[in-house]
Amino acid sequence: MNIPNGNYLVIEGNIGAGKTSLSKMLSEQLNARLILEEFSDNPFLPLFYKNPERYAFPVELFFMTERHKQLQELLLEGNLFQEYIVSDYIFSKTLLFAGQNLENEEFRLFQKLFNTLNASFPKPHLLVYIHRPISQLLLNIKKRGRSYESDISSDYLQKIQAAYFDFFRMKENELPILILELDDMDFIDQSENYDLLLQQLNKKYEVGIHYWSPHKAAI
């Protein structure tokens, strides 16, 4: 397998979509440097899910600084033995979530900080988004059993999903975006499904938004 679009691949998705699992599998396939979001280290996250209004700003500020530090260390440093980079988040995700969680004045301040920190990062050669129905996301969240995620609502997931698609529309003239409409497709335990995903990632994508669904492909 290779990445026809370049050597920097980002896998994104809503909470519970499977982006981290796919990123890990692809990094092994490509012998790629793997960048995973360290969300479990955010001390404000459990508090935020219980009281979003009070803890939105500290939770987003912590995420932004930690993501920036991690990407500075892992994305901008060269590695002679690993040609590819696979990440389970794009730094712009910082602004996407903050726009949903912060009040107007807080968001304006946050946006200024974000724009300063974001200036040095390259764009991914391909941005992949795993799209699943909200009902499937809730099942996946429940299945993995993280206590601090137990208060996530379908309304919140719907807001995040809408924010992602707004972001794609803003960026469709800047980079290739591949949206995988996977529904309940299991690519972890069913190797034939993972192979289908590899076939899509092996294609060349021009700048713009592209869609793929295993169900539509089978028709």
Q: Decide: residue 210, CB within 10 A, 0-12 exposed, 13-18 middle, 19+ buried.
A: middle
Summarised one tens digit per residue, pLDDT across range 104-123 is: 999 999 999 999 999 888 89
Query: What is the overall mean pLDDT for the chain?
Result: 91
pTM of the model: 0.90
The string of DSSP codes covering 3-33 is -TT-SEEEEEESTTSSHHHHHHHHHHHHT-E
Which domain covers residue 14, as residue numbers? 8-218
Answer whether residue 103 is part of any domain: yes
Residue 185 main-chain phi, psi, to 5 deg: -60, 125
Answer whether residue 3 is part of any domain: no
51: CATH: 3.40.50.300
Summarised one tens digit per residue, pLDDT across range 193-203 is: 999 999 999 99
Rounded Cα distance between 94 and 118, Å, is 10
Rounded Cα distance between 149 and 138, Å, is 10
Summarised one tens digit per residue, pLDDT across range 52-73 is: 999 999 999 999 999 999 998 8
**Which region holds residue 77: left if phi is over 0, alpha if psi is between -120 and 50, else beta?**
beta
Answer whether residue 54 is part of any domain: yes
Residue 43 main-chain phi, psi, to 5 deg: -70, -15
